[in-house]
Structure 1
Amino acid sequence: MFGLIIGIDKYESDGIRDLKGCKGDAQSVVDFLSHKFHIRSSHFLRLADERATRSAIIDGFQNHLINNSNIEHGDVVVVFYAGHGSRALAPQGWIADNKKVETVCPHDERTIGHDGKEIFGIPDRTIGGLLRKLSFIKGDNITMILDSCHSGGSTRTLKVARRAENASPLPEELDKDIWMWGLPPIAAPNFPTGFLDKTMSSHILLAACRHDEEAYEDPKAEVIRGAFTHCLIGLLYQEDLTRITYSQLFDLLPRLEQQHPQCDGKNRGRTLFNGASGARPTTFRLTAHGDAYRTNVGSIHGVIKGTVFAIHTQGTITSDETELGILEADYVDAFTCTLRRRSEDTYFTIPSGARALVLNWRQDQSLLKVFIDPSRDEVQPTEHNFALVNSPDSADLIVRRIDCSTFQFNRLDPFIHKWAPMLNDVKLSPDLPRVLQGISHFHYHLYRRNSASPLKQNVEVVLRRLRRIEDTDETMYMPDGKFDMPLFLDRENTVFIPNASTVSYSSDRVFYGLTLTNKSGRNLFPYLVYFDPSDYSIQSWYHPPAATMAAPLAAHSALPVGYGEANIDALEFSLADGVTSDVGFLRLFVSTTYVDLTVLEQSSPFLSARGGKKEKPPRVDVWDVWTFVLRTVETGADIRPSS
C-alpha cells in the first residue's frame, strides 16, 4: 500500500481563509492505515501547509505514485486531500457545468510564482488525468478521499465550510499535458467535468459531500476535524476490512448534518482497499421506534404486511455469525416499513447497528402454482412462496421430468406464456425445490405493480445503437444516430442482430445504450432491471450508485445509460447456439427517493449456488414501474409475431 496524504490548514494568500482540522484529518488517515495494515512510513508522502504547494502536489502524483518503481501493478494506492475546494470560471474552450470547474486549493493558490505568473487551483480534469495515468500504469486499485467542497453557496453559521470563494478564471492551456494524457485531440471539447460527475473506472472516489454542498469542520469541537473524515475513520476502525465493500461502508456511515457523503466509481462494489468483488446478500439498517423497528425497504421492493425478516448483528455483514431472530413487517409504505416481533417467538435482544435481511417475500396473493409430472416426494410446497397443485389445469407452471437431470418447463401464467411459453432440455444441478424458490422470486417481482400508477408513465425509454469513438485509449461509445428505437409497453420491441457466423468477435459486435427522458415535474431515481425467462435470472442494467446522490433523472431532463463515459457497460444482445429468437423483460422502476433495489437480483436458479410544533408537511414519496418486452431476432430468421 502506498499513499499521497495532503492536509492544508494554512494558506499563503490572504484571500483564502485558514482552516484548523485538515492536518489532523490527514494524520488520522496515516495513523489508521499504519495501524491496520502496518505500512512503512516511507510508503506515505505527507504534504501539509507550506509543503503542499501546487507543484509539490502534482509532483507527488507523478514521482511518488506514477513513476515509483516500488509500486507494482495492482498495489493499493490511497490519495487523501483535506483542505479548501473551490469552483473557478472555466476557460473558453472547456465544457463545464454552469461554466464552472471544480478545483482543490493548494497552499500557494492565488499567489505569484517565481515566473511572475499567478498560481491557480488544481482543476478536476488535472486530477482526473493524473489518476487515469496512474491507473493505466499501476492498476485501478486506487481510492481517492476528498474532504473538501466545491459549491458556490454561502457559509452556514457555527460551522466552517472547506470552500474558498472568488477563484481566478483558469487559463485554457492550464495542465493540458496532464489532463489530455491518453486522450485524442477530439476529446478535449467534450471532456467530463466535476469530481463527482464521472462513472470512473480508474479509481473509487469517497467525497465529503455532493458537488453543490459544503464540507464542514466544527471550530468549537475539542479536537477539530472534518465531519466526514472523523466519521469515516471511526467507522473504519470498527469494521472488518477484508470483506466489506465501499458501498456497504457508506451505508453504515452515520448521517451528517447538512452534507451527504458520496461513494462514486464503477468499482464501488469491491472490498475496501482490494481489487476483488465483494458481493453478498442485501441487508437493511434497523432503527428502533419504541417497541418496533423501522427499515428502509417498502412496497417498491415487494414488501407487504407479514413479510419476514431475519435480523443480524452489524458484524454479520462481514462475518458468518448466526442470525439473532425474526421480525415481521407490520406497516408498509412506499420505501420503508415497520417491523415487530412475532408473538410466538422467543424474545431476543437487538443491538444498535443490527441489519434486516428479507427472508420470505410472502407472496400470498400471487403464489406460484406448480404441477410436477411425475410427482416427486422430495418437493414440498413452501409457505408464501409456491404451492403444489394436483391438476395441470390450475397450474402456472408445469414441470415435466424427461430423465434424471433433464426437465421441461411449460409456463401457463398469462404474461410469460404469451412471449416464452416453453423451456426445454433444462439441466438441473441443484435440487428442484431450490429451483422453484428461484422461479417464484422471479414471478413475484416480474408481476407486481403499483396499482395507483402515480407517474402515468411520464418517463420515455429509447434504445440507441452505439458506435465507438475512435483514437481513444479508453473505450467510449456514443449513439450512431442511425438507430433510435422508442420502447413501447403494449407490444414487443424487436432488436435484430447479425447472424453469429458472420460476426467477428472483435470488430463487428453491436452495442446499445438507453436514453431515459423524464417528462414529469419530479426528480427521479430510475432502476432498470432485466428479467430473463430463459434461465430465470434477474440482472440490474442500471442502479443509482449512491444513496446520498442527487436524483440522476431530474425533472424534464434525460439520462444516458451505457454510453457517454469511458469504460462503462454498454448493452449487447446475443442468442444461444441454435436459437434464432429470444425474449426478455426489461422493467423500469422509478422513485422519488433513493432505494436499494439490488435485493431483487438473482443468478439463474438452474445453476448451483453461486439481497403540537410547526413542521413542514412530509412530502409524498411515490414509485412506479413499467415492463417492456424485448425480442432479439437473428437477421433473416422467419419469426412470426406473437398473437
Structure 2
Amino acid sequence: TKPSLHALVIGINKYESYDHLANATVDAFEFKQYLIRDLLAPNEQIKVIFNEQATKWNIILALQDLAREDNGIKHGDPIVIYYAGYGGELDPPPDRVLNRSPVHCIIPQDTSKVNGVYPIPDFTIGALVHKIAREKGNNITLIFDCGYSLSDIQDEMPPNTLPRAIDKKDLPALPTCSDHITIRDALNGSDIDDLYSLELSSPRADTHVLLSACGHQESVFENSEFPGYGYFSRALLETLRSIEVNSLTYEGLIQRLSTLKANMVQNPCCKGKNTDRILFDGQVKGASTSMITIEQKQDGLYLQAGLVQGITPGFKYAIHSGDIFGPNDMIIGTLEVDQVDPFAARLKDENALDVPSFCYGRRVAYGLDQALSVYITEDFVKAVEPSKAWSRILSGGKDNTLIRPTSPGLAQVILSAYGKKETTFKLRNQVSIKYGIGTLPLPGRSSIPPSASQVVPILSALAKWHWYLRHAPASRPFQGLVDLEFYQLHPAGKYTDSGNPIFESEGENLIVGGEVNIVANPEGRYGVRIVNRSSADLYVYLFSFSPTSLAITHKSTPPTGSPSAQLPESESLTIGYGPGEQVPFTFSIDDALRMDATILRLFVSTHPADIEGVEQESPFEANGALLNEQLKDLFGREAVWDVIGVNVACKRPSRKDEGIIEPFGGLTIISDLEPTTTLNADPTITPNLDLGITPVIGADTSPTSPLPALFPAPTAAYPPVIPSTNGTQFTGKSSTRRMVEALTAHATFLPWFCTPALTPELLASIRCMRLRTLGSAKGPGGTNSSTETGGYFEISVIGSDGFPKLSTKKKEMKYRSHSASTSVEWIDGMVFEEDHELWGNLGAGDYFEVSVCAKGKGWICEANMGNLTFW
C-alpha cells in the first residue's frame, strides 16, 4: 500500500511589494523531494504553492482543502504543512487589544499596504488547523521556516545573509474582525470562543505539533548565496535524513538537530502538547527499516553495530526473531542500550526476555544524545599516534562523554592536523562561527600534538561543553515569561561588611536581539537582572560558556537564607550587583582575537537541580589531565524547566593613536609625519608603481643584526619610498607568524594585523595602498593552486564600531590583495589606487585589517612577515 502521508508545501521568493528572498522556494522544493524520495510519499498527495501562486486566498483555500471530506485523507493520516518565506509580528487587531501580546503572521505573496491585503495571522491559521484536526485527526505537523522579529538585528546583518521577516512598520495592520468569515466557517460547530487559545505556539495545543525555525524574540535567516538555503531547513533535512523517522520524537528531533550554519542567534524549537510523540505519530516508515543482528555473549546481548553507526546509550530496540519486519513478525520485547563501543552496543535487562539464539534488533526510540559529532580528516588519521586511549571516548555509558564519527555536514567539530603535526579543532556552533572563533587552539597558544593523551581530554571537554550549551527542553515553557537583562554597573558608594564595594546598575538593558556588544575594558563592570513574570516560583542557575577556552563557570546567585526557590513569581533578583557579597562580571579579550564572546545560559526550573560537576576548567590549561566528564539531565521528570540565553560579544578597543601602537603582538604601526589639519590631497602626485616598497621598521622592533632575507636593504631593486611633503605615509608591519588551513572546500581566514584608526587628516592625504608579504602556500599532495583554490591575502575595512564595514552595495569591504607563492618569498600585492571603490567609502575611525586565507580542502597558507603601506 502507498504511504498515507499528505502535505502542503509553500515557498515564496518573489513578493509583490517587498524585497525578494533568495532561497525560500529552494528550501520548499528540497523538502518536497525529501517527502517523495525519503518518505516515499506519492507526488499526487503533495500540494505545492510557489511564488505568484502563493496569494493569501490560495493559501487559505489550500488549508481548507485539507479538511474536505472527499480529499482522500483518512482520519489519523499524517499531514505536513511546510512554509518557507517571510513572517512578521503585528499588534493585535483593535477588537483584540485586551490581549497585549504581538500576533505572529506569515506573509503571502500579495501582502501590501497599497492593495489592502494583510498577512495571515497566527489565530487564522490556528482556526484552519483546528478544522483539519476535527475532520482528519491531530496527526498534523507544521514546519515554519520564517521569522517574526526583525527590529533588533537590522543593523547587524552579516553579508550573504537575509532575514525571513518583515518589520511591522512595513506591513498593513490587522483590521477589526480580521479574517472573520474564514475563522467563522472553520470554527462552525466548535466550542472555541477565544481565538488566542488557538495560537500555533501554545504548549497546550492538541491539534498539531509546530517545528519553528527560531525561539522567542529571535530571528530566522537564509544564506543568500547561490546555491543557498535557509539555515533551519538545511539543518532539518540533514538531520531527518540521518535518522529513522518512525523511532524519534519531535523533542528528540529538535535536540538532535544538526548545527545551524547561521552566524546570527537562531535556536529552533517545537511547540504543542504532543511533542513527545513519534514523528508523524509513527505512521511514516521511510525508505527502509533496518534490522541489526544481535549476538549473545557471556556478559549479555550485543547489537552488532555501535557508535560508528550512530548508536548511543538510551536507544531502544524491539527484539525480533526474524530479519524482515512485517505484519506477521512477532516482537519478543524491547531493550535499551546502556553501553556502546565503536562497533557494538550492549543491551541491558536482557534476562527479562526469553531471547532465541538468533534474533535481531529494530530501533524504536532514540535516547538523549550526549555524543559529540566529529568529522575526522584524513590528515589527522595520517598524523595521529596509535593508542588504546582512543577507545575511552569511543565507548561508554549514558553518563559519559562520547564522540561519534560523522560526515562534515553533520559535524559539530572537525578534527584535523597540519604542519608539524599540530592538531586543530574547527568549531561549527553558531557563536563560534559568528565571532570568528572558528579554530582552536587560538593562535599563539601551545600546539596540540595528535596524540590521544593530548586530544582526548579536549574532545571530552568539547562534548561536555556542547551538551550543556544545547541542553534545553523542546517545549520551552518559560519563553517570554522570564526576562534576562544585562546592565553596566557603577559603584553605589556603599561597602559590604568585608569592605568590598557594592555596585548598582546604570543605563538601559544592553541586550539587543539576544546579544550584548561591549568593548573590552579592565575597568568595566557588568551584572544581570532576572525577572520572573510567570505564575510559578523558580530556581535559577546561571552559567557562562567560553568558546575560546571551553570553560564552563557557574555564576552564584545571592543567598536567600531559605531552602525555597530563589525567584518567587512576579519578583526579580540580580547577579553581580546589589546587596550581598556579589562579584560583577568582567570581560577581557585574547591578544590573538579582534573579538571574543561569552555565552550566558540561565536555567530556570520549578524544582531544584543537581548542578554538581557541570563546571569545567579549560582543557587547554589542564596539561592533558582528565576532566570531570560526567553528563546528566539536570532536572528530574517532575520539573518544568527552560533555558534563556544571551551572547556577550566583546571587541577590542579602537586604536586612536596615530603614533607607534601595538594592536597585536609583534606589530608596530608608524606614522612618518605628524598629521596636521592643513594636509590636503595633491592630485599631481603619482608614486612610481614599479618601485618596491621597503618596510618601515619601528625602533622597538628593529633587528639588532642584519636580516637581508627578510628586510632587503635599499637597492636599485628595492629603493626606499620617500613620502611627499604634502602627504603622509604610514606603514603597518607584522612579524608575527600566522598559519591557516582550509579543512573544507570553503575559504578559511585568520586575522593577521591591522592599522590604526583613520583620522580626517590621514584620509585627506593618502590615495594609494599596497600589501607586501613574506609567506608561502602549500596544497594537498603538492597540487597547484587555481582560481578556486590556494593561499592568499585579503585586506578588509573595519568600521569604527569594530565590525566589518559594508559598501554601498551592502557587501563586506573585503578585497583580495595577492596569492601566496609555493615557496617562501616576498610578494607585492596589487596597488589600490585612488579610483578604487574603497577610498570613496572610508570614514574617520575606520581601519584596515589584513587576513591570511586558504581555500580548498587541505590548502595551507603561512605568513611570516607583512607590510601594509600607504602613500
Higher relative contact order (CA 8 A, sep 6+): 1
Structure of larger gyration radius: 2
TM-score when normalising by structure 1: 0.47
TM-score when normalising by structure 2: 0.36
